[in-house]
Amino acid sequence: MKIMIIGAGGQLGSELVNILQDDVLIPLTHIDIEMTNQEQVNDILSSNMPDVVINTTAYHRVDDCEDNVEKSFSVNAYAVRTLAKICSELDTTLVHFSTDYVFGGEKGIPYTEEDMPNPLSVYAVSKLAGEYFVRNICNRHFVIRTCGLYGAKGISGKGENFVELMLKLSKQKKPIRIVADQIVTPTYARELAFKVSQLIRTREYGLYHMTNEGSCSWYEFARTVFDLTGIKANLSPTTAAEYGAKARRPAYSVLENRNLTRLGLDDMRPWKDALKDYLSEKGYL
Ligand SMILES: NC(=O)c1ccc[n+]([C@@H]2O[C@H](COP(=O)([O-])OP(=O)(O)OC[C@H]3O[C@@H](n4cnc5c(N)ncnc54)[C@H](OP(=O)(O)O)[C@@H]3O)[C@@H](O)[C@H]2O)c1
């Protein structure tokens, strides 16, 4: 298949580039394409005519989004609408990523694809708008909600993600306070990319939850990084209220991979096993 990856320099995009090596790839970084430039997006897609477009781009600094509503909607919703229209016109399959933050956290047990969203922040509302544009404009779509991503290249390809941040802070011997009242599922970008490579060959279009298995608080996630690496860190739990982030986040946003299970494709591993692999591949174990 001829596959265009937009956001190829990022955490998930770079893993997709590695995993899809047997396909004909057109990897595009932010230098190659500006998603908010409609004309450029149209030109690049029309001249390359890919079978599949995978869009991993997002404006996802969740707290900054609160002050930058225009930019959030421009990147996460309007640009996605344009992309969906172009893909529909060219009869191209569109793979688009969304977030666990579309949910409000009230449910307390894992959210399925059928559950009603209740986004609490500008970021979450803009991502949900992007989802709806894709689902309603482009028939051949995969909209994939994931959670707590970490990957070798780090966010924006700059080397930092939650795991790396914890390791960096521990080296600085500073007290580390992490929220213990937000429950998520850390998800290894490499494993997600592998699942995406399987899903896009099924033609079973639709909405999918795709995370590693199980759940934990951000505090437990940090604790496990230190336990596995044997690092003694000055780590203590805090609450979201004490931490006082600008954007509201759901207290519980664990996703059930129900639609993936229906296809017999949900063998995503427990999050601790995936984390061990990441730490070992990065040379920390
Ligand atoms: N990270 C998480 O924990 C998480 C959780 C749930 C869902 N998601 C979703 O998963 C997807 C992938 O996330 P990720 O962690 O791989 O993000 P990432 O590392 O930041 O990768 C996104 C890439 O898109 C590029 N980009 C951003 N805005 C662009 C624009 N306007 N035009 C062209 N390129 C642009 C970025 O380049 P620059 O950095 O140069 O701008 C970056 O290389 C996103 O849709 C995100 O919303 C992420």
pLDDT in tens, 118-158: 999 999 999 999 999 999 999 999 999 999 999 999 998 89
Domain assignment present for residue 199? The answer is: yes
pLDDT at 168: 96
Domain assignment present for residue 239? The answer is: no
Domain assignment present for residue 115? The answer is: yes
pLDDT of 95 > 90? The answer is yes
Domain assignment present for residue 182? The answer is: no
pLDDT tens, position by position, 7-60 = 999 999 999 999 999 999 999 999 999 999 999 999 999 999 999 999 999 999
Domain count, the chain: 1
Domain assignment present for residue 231? The answer is: no
pLDDT grade, residue 172 (50/70/90)? very high
What is the Å distance from ligand 1's center to 8 Cα?
A: 9
State whether the beta carbon of 97 lies less than 6 angstroms from ligand 1: yes
pLDDT of 269 > 90? The answer is yes
Residue 158 has which token pair?
Answer: 């700059």
CA atoms within 13 A on the CB side of 222: 25
pLDDT grade, residue 223 (50/70/90)? very high
Give the mutation target among 28, 56, 65, 218 for probing the ligand 1 site: most ligand atoms within 8 A of CB.
56
Domain assignment present for residue 226? The answer is: no
Domain assignment present for residue 279? The answer is: no
pLDDT of 69 > 90? The answer is yes
What is the Å distance from ligand 1's center to 190 Cα?
A: 15
pLDDT at 228: 98
State whether the beta carbon of 250 lies less than 6 angstroms from ligand 1: no
Catalytic residue among 101, 111, 123, 150: 123
pLDDT at 157: 86
pLDDT at 115: 98
**Over residues 157-164, mean pLDDT:** 94
Domain assignment present for residue 109? The answer is: yes
State whether the beta carbon of 155 lies less than 6 angstroms from ligand 1: yes
Nearest residue (CA) to ligand 1, atom 39: 156
Catalytic site includes residue 278: no
pLDDT of 174 > 90? The answer is no
- Residue-number span of the structural domain to which 18 is assigned: 2-152+187-213+254-268
State whether the beta carbon of 99 lies less than 6 angstroms from ligand 1: yes
CATH number at residue 134: 3.40.50.720
